[in-house]
Amino acid sequence: VLARMAERPWNRYPDFESIALRTAIANAYGLTAENILVGNGSNELLAAAIGAFVGPGTPVVFARPTFALYEKLVTIAGGLAVPIDFDPDSGLLPLEDMLSAIRKYDNAVAIVCSPNNPTGGVLPAGGLVALLDNGAMVLLDEAYGDFAQSGVPALLDRLVTFRTFSKAWGLAALRVGWLASTAENCREIRKVKLPYSLNVISEAIAEVALEHPGIRDRNVAYILSERERLFAAMQRVPRIRVFPTQANFITFRSERKLFDALCRRGILIREVAGGCLRVSVGTREENDAFLAALKEVA
Ligand code: PMP
């Protein structure tokens, strides 16, 4: 990275098209650069895509709870938020109810976070095709997809898939996200996206990272093995209910208010809707510290 940065003229703007990074991402997935856009975190691309496809009154169907940014962006765009409660028993996204909601409209957009933040569940098998077949434009946020072995993003007319360097790559501070879609959708989203939003340092680091996919794969393997260990241990803790997860976090419900009690023991996790808490899978030592505290307070 340092060698690449030394070669760059820092007084010049970055490449307008971010062609080097888009090509590197495209090559990694067997796609072409015209199918890829990069942004300052996938957040920026979600904002651009919602800006491109959601207008005043556009119905936007999404699971509840989900990543809070979607509803905020939909509201800013003047869209009609249509939240659908997730199924706590299966942990899966509420596909059937989402489909019924989509069928009520002829111009629905579905925002699907799979695995879902914060519940950890994925879209049931065949869900993506069903959403598209029922006429929805689908914005598929796979920020946590690497933990659920999602492969190459599909290129379909009404589908935009979002990925990020923030999770499995462990590079959240860089603020690099990307999306994959048809060339036409990419052209539409580019009309809304800010120019030059990615800086050359982050671009260079992401390019170098892609040359070392083993970094991501090692992170994913470590987190998956720790997730299984943590999940099994949490299932043995009385009085909490653990939701099935395919992400790098575990969400659980407790009748007691555990958040403050955990904080007092030096453990800060995330409070989510409905009396639930979400813990991110960390290092073995962090996970052990969390488990020890949880067993004390639960
Ligand atoms: N999508 C989801 C579901 C997320 O949870 C997050 C971050 N918490 C993002 C997108 C944003 O990722 P980025 O760092 O790429 O902006």
Nearest ligand 1 atom, CA 43: 16
Best substitution site from 25, 42, 114, 147 to test ligand 1's pocket, by max atoms within 8 Å of Cβ?
42
238 CA distance to ligand 1 middle (Å)? 32
Q: What's the pLDDT tens digit per position in 174-204? A: 999 999 999 999 999 999 999 999 999 999 9
42 CA distance to ligand 1 middle (Å)? 6
Q: Is the pLDDT of residue 265 over 90?
A: yes
Q: Is 115 in the pocket of ligand 1 (CB under 6 A)?
A: no
Q: Is 161 in the pocket of ligand 1 (CB under 6 A)?
A: no
208 CA distance to ligand 1 middle (Å)? 21
Best substitution site from 21, 69, 146 to test ligand 1's pocket, by max atoms within 8 Å of Cβ?
69
Please provide the distance, in angstroms rounded to a whole number, between the alpha carbons at the two ends of the chain. 46
Q: What's the pLDDT tens digit per position in 66-122? A: 999 999 999 999 999 999 998 878 888 999 999 999 999 999 999 999 999 999 999
Question: Which distant-in-sequence residues (6+ apart) come within 8 Å of 151 by Cβ?
Answer: none
Q: What's the pLDDT tens digit per position in 21-71? A: 999 999 999 999 999 999 999 999 999 999 999 999 999 999 999 999 999
Question: What was the pLDDT predicted at 87?
Answer: 82
Q: What's the pLDDT tens digit per position in 147-177? A: 998 899 999 999 999 999 999 999 999 999 9
Question: Which distant-in-sequence residues (6+ apart) come within 8 Å of 232 by Cβ?
Answer: none
Bridge partners for 159 per DSSP? 138
Bridge partners for 43 per DSSP? none
Q: What is the CA radius of gyration of the chain?
A: 20
Q: Is 172 in the pocket of ligand 1 (CB under 6 A)?
A: yes
Q: Is 67 in the pocket of ligand 1 (CB under 6 A)?
A: yes
CA atoms of 269 and 192, how far apart (whole Å): 35
23 CA distance to ligand 1 middle (Å)? 22
Q: Is 40 in the pocket of ligand 1 (CB under 6 A)?
A: no
Three-state DSSP state, 230: helix
Bridge partners for 160 per DSSP? 139
Three-state DSSP state, 117: coil
Burial letters for 133-157: b for 16+ Cβ neighbours within 10 Å, e otherwise? eeebbbbbbbbbbbbbebeebebee
Q: Is the pLDDT of residue 132 over 90?
A: yes
Residue with tokens 């959601």: 54
Phi, psi for 77 (deg, rounded to 5): -75, -5
Q: Is 42 in the pocket of ligand 1 (CB under 6 A)?
A: yes
Nearest ligand 1 atom, CA 172: 14
Angle, helix 200-210 to helix 19-29, in steps of 10 degrees? 20
* Residue 82 neighbours by CB distance under 10 Å: 19
Nearest ligand 1 atom, CA 44: 16
Question: What was the pLDDT predicted at 226?
Answer: 98
Q: Is 113 in the pocket of ligand 1 (CB under 6 A)?
A: yes
Instruction: Report which of 115, 208, 122, 127 is spatially closest to residue 167, judged by C-alpha positions.
Output: 115
Q: Is 166 in the pocket of ligand 1 (CB under 6 A)?
A: yes
pTM for this prediction: 0.96
Question: Which distant-in-sequence residues (6+ apart) come within 8 Å of 5 by Cβ?
Answer: 200, 201, 204
Mean pLDDT over 210-216 rounds to 97
Q: Is 143 in the pocket of ligand 1 (CB under 6 A)?
A: yes
